[in-house]
Amino acid sequence: MYEGVVQDLIDELGRLPGVGPKSAQRIAFHLLAADPVDVRRLVVALEQVKEKVRFCRICGNVAEEEECRVCRDPRRELSVICVVEEPKDVVAIERTREFRGRYHVLGGAISPIEGVGPDDLRIRELLARLADGTVTELILATDPNLEGEATATYLARLVKPMGLRVTRLASGLPVGGDLEYADEVTLGRAFEGRRLLDV
């Protein structure tokens, strides 16, 4: 244990995802030794992200305005929605340059053991977007793992009465991993080879 403020900093850093106690300590001491100007810049970035960044009112992606960059872009097709779990999946798919439609960010996957059910995700918002018939294809790009698969299964069955074309990224995507770790080539190929879901 360190004294007061240093320990407070280590505790706060240790709360971040992927940062263990040892890393927290290392970052804390790095900051202690760093130039005050550099630290100031970090503080400003942290404050700005909480002040300026919000979630797109249409798709749930991170946005600096009411709507995100993708939803504001008039060149994006309105007939296709790609459903993902997290904003970082949008970034991964945008990198492939394969997809020209819009997104819907669920905010996670159905995970009963963590107490996360369909009502805890942005599924009602998705149904509202599908209501007027503009969207004709739904691409389910949830993670290629069990929870992502179960979430896709649930959504496919839910929208079945709407008569949309519902597709899932090709099974060429390795199972068990996180979407964000797929390289552009594999993910791009998975888009081209997406398969119809029939539940």
Rounded Cα–Cα distance for residues 199 and 196 (Å): 10
Residue among 57 and 95 whose Cβ is closer to Zn ion: 57
User: Tokens 């929870």 sit at which residue?
Assistant: 147
Is 20 a binding residue for other proteins by CB under 8 A? The answer is yes
Give every CB contact of residue 161 below 8 A, 6+ residues apart in sequence: none
Antiparallel, parallel or unpaired: β 165-168 and 195-196: antiparallel
Q: How far is the CB of 187 from other proteins (least distance, A)?
A: 9
Residue 81 is a binding residue for Zn ion (CB under 5 A): no
Stretch that binds other proteins, among 33-41, 54-62, 83-91, 140-148 (CB under 8 A): 140-148
Residues of span 44-103 touching other proteins by CB under 8 A: none
Residue 44 interacting partner from other proteins, Zn ion, none (CB closer than 5 to 8 Å by kind): none
Instruction: Tell which one of 35, 161, 176, 185 touches other proteins (CB under 8 A).
Output: 176
Q: Which of 55, 52, 62, 59 is nearest to 76 (CA)?
A: 59
Cβ of residue 174: shortest distance to other proteins, in angstroms? 4
Is residue 166 within 8 A of residue 197, CB to CB? The reply is: yes
Binding of other proteins at residue 184 (CB under 8 A)?
no
Q: Which residues lie below 8 Å from residue 108, measured CB to CB, with a gap of 6+?
A: 85, 86, 116, 120, 121
Which of 17, 74, 161, 163 is the binder for other proteins (CB under 8 A)?
17
Question: In terms of CB distance, is 6 or 27 closer to other proteins?
Answer: 27
Residue choice 112, 161, 163, 185 for contact with other proteins (CB under 8 A): 112
Closer residue to Zn ion in complex, CB, 15/75: 75
CA distance 57 to 122: 11
Other Cβ atoms within 10 Å of 124 Cβ, number: 9
Which one of 50-58, 66-74, 114-122, 128-136 is the stretch in contact with other proteins (CB under 8 A)? 114-122
Taking the alpha carbons of 125, 161, 189, 102 in that order, is the dihedral positive or negative? negative
**Rule CB under 8 A: which residues touch other proteins?**
17-18, 20, 110, 112-115, 117, 144-146, 149-150, 153-154, 157, 173-178, 181-183, 186, 199
